[in-house]
């Protein structure tokens, strides 16, 4: 005998109502989600403690999701996100719009932003540095670095084995004017 599923339990019905709920103007990330994340962070971390934030962008067919998350117990918990109205990489203005509310929310903590090479720019580094935020980015192999007292050299000229990580500090990255000393993860 075939059992009839009540209407209120059908997946279409549930999904439709959840979509309607999320479209309500009162259901915004800043009004609902950010206070919830703030409460979770206060439970897990003390003020002044170092928080690691991961920033990433991913393309799902026609959706371009741009997100920043806090790392809690080896898990990335989304803090804030945007859907970009275009395909491809984000730009500085979009990145600042994503990071700004998070910096405001987490101003009582020491922040380290971890990102992929898409987020590498002198302007972004200056902006984060002015907000006392550390930046650790994966680098392209053709990035030039300068260790103290040495000439610039490309990362691919260093003796690095694939899969082995190195963390370099106190060096200049790129030959552009204005990029100060910092750290790079390889």
Superfamily of the domain at 27-138:
Ribonuclease H-like superfamily/Ribonuclease H (3.30.420.10)
Q: Which 8-state DSSP code applies to residue 177?
A: T
Q: What is the pLDDT of residue 174?
A: 63
Beta bridge partners of 53: 70, 113
Residue showing tokens 């339990």: 9
59 backbone dihedrals φ, ψ, rounded to 5°: -105, 120
pLDDT tens for residues 59-74? 877 878 888 899 998 8
Q: What is the pLDDT of residue 45?
A: 95
User: Which sequence spans correspond to the domains of the chain?
Assistant: 27-138, 139-186
Instruction: Give the pLDDT band of residue 108 (cuts 50, 70, 90).
Output: very high
CA distances from 99 to 71, 80, 126 (A): 15, 8, 14
Q: What is the pLDDT of residue 107?
A: 92
Region 23-31 average pLDDT: 68
Q: Which 8-state DSSP code applies to residue 162?
A: T
Instruction: Give the pLDDT band of residue 186 (cuts 50, 70, 90).
Output: very low
Residue showing tokens 């609902």: 32
**CA-CA distance, 20 to 17, in Å (whole number)?**
5
Residue showing tokens 């003020």: 47
Instruction: Give the pLDDT band of residue 141 (cuts 50, 70, 90).
Output: confident
């Amino acid at each position: 005998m075939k059992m009839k599923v009540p209407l209120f339990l059908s997946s279409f019905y549930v999904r439709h109502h959840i979509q309607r709920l999320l479209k309500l103007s009162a259901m915004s990330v800043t009004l609902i989600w950010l206070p919830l994340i703030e409460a979770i962070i206060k439970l897990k971390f003390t003020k002044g403690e170092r928080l690691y934030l991961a920033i990433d962008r991913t393309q799902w067919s026609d959706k371009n999701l741009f997100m920043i998350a806090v790392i809690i117990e080896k898990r990335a918990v989304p803090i804030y996100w945007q859907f970009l109205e275009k395909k491809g990489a984000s730009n500085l203005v979009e990145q600042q719009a994503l990071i700004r509310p998070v910096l405001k929310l987490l101003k009582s903590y020491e922040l380290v932003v971890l990102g992929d090479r898409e987020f590498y720019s002198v302007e972004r580094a200056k902006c984060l540095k002015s907000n006392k935020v550390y930046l650790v980015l994966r680098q392209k192999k053709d990035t030039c670095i300068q260790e103290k007292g040495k000439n610039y050299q490309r990362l691919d000229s260093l003796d690095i084995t694939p899969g082995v990580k190195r963390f370099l500090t106190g060096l200049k990255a790129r030959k552009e004017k204005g990029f100060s000393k910092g750290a790079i993860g390889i």
